[in-house]
Amino acid sequence: MSTIVSPSVLSADFANLERDVKMLNKSNAEWLHIDIMDGQFVPNISFGLPVMKAIHKHATKPLDVHLMIATPDDYIDEFKDAGAEILTVHYEACTHLHRSLQRIKSAGMKAGVALNPHTPVDLLKDIIHDIDLVLIMSVNPGFGGQKFIPQAVEKVRALKTLITNAKATTLIEVDGGVNLETGKLLVEAGADALVAGSFVFGSEDPIKTIEKLGEL
Ligand code: DX5
Ligand code: ZN
């Protein structure tokens, strides 16, 4: 079984986005991970809708969009229009998470929920059947290139048990500090998809690196 690889465009060369997106098109990457940061929910600003639209224009793979913004409910339709296929909101940013998920799905996207490192997976128990994907953060969101938080591996294991017991079809994706070593532990624990930014774009041969991650 192969692992879904979702390279994070946050680590691409923003002055050569078209080139980097076309490189990802040629790779084994299944999705393209798009990190949207607002300087409110996280202490950093990445890029917004116009840049995402430009990425979408060149991408041949589904856009896996990770919203690190304080009011995701206000922008669901905008992200659909900008090309999102998977739209992931943070548990910590959604007071009425069930409603947010329904709105994402009725807009025609897959609905994801991201959990910060301190947020327990058990909190998703009652709505697991409503979630297409859970994004376990293995760093504090906001920046690429951070050190992997090892407790993420146990969280993936616990989430896998929760999903299996509920007979749900929710996918598990992990984001932050992923490389071949941490990725292997995560896949063994039950991760279906791996996000990787600096490890892919900082490598000599990103296409080969994506291929290796997909073989984990
Ligand atoms: C962090 C972002 C990640 C980031 C991962 O807030 O959500 O997607 O790009 O970067 P690496 O793989 O370098 O940890
Ligand atoms: Zn991300």
**Nearest bound ligand to CA 117?**
1
Neighbours of ion ligand 2 (CB under 5 A): 35, 66, 175
Q: Is 38 helix (H, G, I), strand (E, B) or coil?
A: strand
Model-wide pTM > 0.85:
yes
* Pocket perturbation via mutation, ligand 1, pick of 31, 41, 133, 139 by most ligand atoms within 8 A of CB: 139
Our answer on whether the CB atom of 196 is closer than 6 Å to any ligand 1 atom is yes
Cα separation values, 52 from 46, 49, 80, 146, 207, Å: 11, 5, 11, 23, 22
Residue range 106-122, pLDDT digits in tens: 999 999 999 999 999 99
The residues near 11 (Cβ < 8 Å, ≥ 6 apart) are 144, 145, 197, 198, 200, 201, 202
Q: What is the DSSP-derived secondary structure letter of residue 69?
A: -
* Whole-number Å distance between alpha carbons of 51 and 57: 10
Entry field: residues in the chain: 216
* Residue 4 pLDDT: 98
- Ligand 1 atom nearest 10 alpha carbon: 9
User: Is residue 1 very low, low, confident or very high in pLDDT (cuts 50, 70, 90)?
Assistant: low
